Structure 1
Amino acid sequence: MPDLVEVLDEPLGKVRRLIDEHHLVGSRRTGVFAVPSLFIVDGRPLSSLRGTIIVLQDAGFTDDELIDWLLAEEESMGRSPIAALLAGHKSEVRRIARTLA
């Protein structure tokens, strides 16, 4: 969390709220809570990430599964969902995510 506070230049309470409100998602796989750096653009959470996180959680994904799916190559897109979100193609990503339920 201290690194996330520094990267976002926000107080810890605000960072926790961003996570609670699904603007960001992270994992404790390594024992330390971590958010993939691709989820932060110019010191802010990627704006299209929140809705995508919610769609995937509604489909029953855990945070770890959600992160894995966003970072893995998606055959139907020919790239990873996070790459598509970074390129501005949130509708395509969310359409595919809705089919995963």
Structure 2
Amino acid sequence: MTLSVAQIDRETDQLVAEWLTLPEVAQRLDLTIGRTKQLLKERKLIGVRRGGGGPQVPAVFLDGREVVKGLSGTLTLLLDAGYDDAEALRWLFTPDDSLPGSPAEAIRAGRHTEVKRRAQALAF
């Protein structure tokens, strides 16, 4: 299975407080590395390259042993709106005073419906 993972710029990298490697994601979700890569391929998670090395995932995308509820649908809407992985991450982690916080923080706080509505509006 070939996994295409975007390289991100320094500015986007700095928006994310904590990154996890694929082995760390697999361990937290109690999955194999193969199944973790499948989550990336299916767009349930976004992983990007930071500098050298393998893909990394923002830690805020995980809630205990699960992917944060509402993330997958939001990612689908952003990608359907034409965002690539790096642009989607930038949008998710850019602070928004009307939320407050970033869309990623709002999703984690259970406000995924509102964030999805905003992501859907980007396509129009």
Q: Is 1:77 aligned to residue 66 of structure 2?
A: no
Q: Secondary structure at the match of 1:77?
A: coil
- Please, what TM-score do these two structures have when normalized by structure 1? 0.89
Equivalent residues in 2 for 1:1-101, closer than 5 Å: 1-31=22-52, 32-101=54-123
Name the CA distance, whole Å, in 2 between partners of 1:61 and 1:75.
Answer: 22
Paired residue total: 101
Q: Secondary structure at the match of 2:107?
A: helix
Unpaired runs of 5+ residues, structure 1, are none
- Please, what TM-score do these two structures have when normalized by structure 2? 0.74
Unpaired runs of 5+ residues, structure 2, are 1-21
Deviation at 1:57, TM superposition (A): 0.2
Name the CA distance, whole Å, in 2 between partners of 1:21 and 1:3.
Answer: 19
Question: Once the two structures are aligned, what percentage of the paired residues are identical?
Answer: 37
Higher relative contact order (CA 8 A, sep 6+): 2
Q: Which has the higher strand share?
A: 2
Deviation at 1:75, TM superposition (A): 3.6
Report the AA paired with residue 111 of structure 2: H
Q: Is the Cα contact below 8 Å between 1:26 and 1:67 reproduced in 2?
A: no
